[in-house]
Amino acid sequence: MASARLDINFFDRAAIDNPYPLFEQVRAAGPVVWNDILGGWMVTGFEDCSTVLNDNGDQFAVVNGDPEMLPWFEAPTMISVDGATHRRLRACVSPLFTRGAVQRWQSRVDAVVEHLLAPVAAGSDTYDLIADFTMVPTIIVAEMLGVPEERHGDFQDWSNTIVSNLAYGHEDASARELLRKASSELNAYLRTEIERHRRDRPDDLLTTMIDASDQGAMDGDEVRAAAVLLLIAGYDTTAKLLSNALVAFEANPDQRALVAADPDLMPAAIEEILRWRSTVQAIPRRAVQDTELAGTRLGAGDVVYAVTAAANRDPARWNDPDRFDVRRERRTHFGFGYGPHLCLGAPLARLEARVALQGLLRLAPEFRLRDLEFGPSFFVRGPERGLLQPAGR
């Protein structure tokens, strides 16, 4: 059969602001559609995306090992390799991100949320509910890594710059320069921090990774690259989960009211937010060899974009998928990825989101946002600014 083609510019401002009609255009064109602007195939069906993402690298390999894709990693990381190397690097830190291990952070997350929501409790009319409130994961991840409080703002800036400009090699010159500068500063700081950890041996995640290096499980560059990954994945994707939750709740006040009245609904609401307003819009993979996907022939080296935000609204999997429903029957989604590269920090992100959103709804169950601003990134999508609308206005 002839290959379908649809050249959509997902980096256009209108596409970033509202990509969902475009996803439906792709879905209507076929299960596997070529996009010359992306230079790859777009896949929007849930089952086809599952096939791509559940592969161990035998047919569909990660593309992140290409230095043109993610230049801020100076060594292999869990997301840039497949197979045995991926399993080795993941095993070095996975015991620290189990549900049981993460639960020990509950009291600290509670305290951080209470502190960040103090301006809301005081009735502030200048509080940036997105930029300030979503500092929760920055603080927690920085503390897990043993980063001093005075550097938390730097961590947020570096992570936000990297993720906001991420385009998997499609960045323009100015974005590439921003990425280069942020990644250079971040890696330089972490070199200094790793030296301090080797000397002082604080009890934290970075020291655990250094111990793994000393035992031969990781090398020194891999320790630093892993710290970069944990910062970026631990902060920005969770921050955008929170900011997307705020937008979803404001757009669906009836559903927000249900959760405000019954906080036990919050875990289900978070899963629906992850499905309905995916933070990660698409995940690229590369065909290892000539293969076939959903009746379309792919050549070795072809890039395949699993458009997870579209797959999370696949009508073949969910009834009325465009409706936000916190009582929807829970089914597996792609909100934290899928397969071997399923997000390691998902239990921590769920804990942070639950505590933060429950705290906000206790104080401002009918909150409203104003001056909402989305960043420039299509691939990792979510608002970056948004002031809390004062009550009664």
- Listed residue (94, 120, 85, 102) closest to 388, CA to CA: 120
pLDDT at 297: 96
287-306 per-position pLDDT tens digit:
999 999 999 999 999 999 99
**pLDDT of 79 over the 80 cut:** yes
For the record, the structure tokens of 285 come out as 């993979």
Sorted by sequence, the CB contacts under 8 Å of residue 188 that are 6+ apart come out as none
Superfamily designation of domain 4-388? Cytochrome P450 (1.10.630.10)
pLDDT, mean of residues 325-333: 96
Q: How confident is the model at residue 63 (pLDDT cuts 50, 70, 90)?
A: confident
- Listed residue (104, 43, 96) closest to 285, CA to CA: 43
Q: Measured in whole angstroms, how far is the alpha carbon of residue 173 from the centre of its chain? A: 24
Q: How confident is the model at residue 258 (pLDDT cuts 50, 70, 90)?
A: very high
For the record, the structure tokens of 335 come out as 């909100």
Higher pLDDT, 47 or 380: 47
**pLDDT of 308 over the 90 cut:** yes
Quick check: 145 and 388 in contact, CB under 8 A? Answer: no
**pLDDT of 69 over the 70 cut:** no
What pTM value is reported for the model? 0.92
Amino acid code (one letter) for 23: F
* Whole-Å CA distances, 367 to 13, 119, 155, 371: 27, 14, 28, 14
Helix (H, G, I), strand (E, B) or coil at 366: coil
Partner residues linked to 128 by β-bridges? 387
The whole-chain average pLDDT of the chain stands at 91
103-132 per-position pLDDT tens digit:
999 999 999 999 999 999 998 878 898 888
Q: How confident is the model at residue 67 (pLDDT cuts 50, 70, 90)?
A: low
Q: Which residues of 262-296 are buried (b: 16+ CB within 10 A; e: fewer)?
A: eeebbebbbbbbbbbbbbbbbbbbbbbeebebeeb
212-226 per-position pLDDT tens digit:
899 999 998 999 999
**pLDDT of 210 over the 80 cut:** yes
Output DSSP code: residue 235. Answer: I
pLDDT at 365: 95
Quick check: 247 and 372 in contact, CB under 8 A? Answer: yes
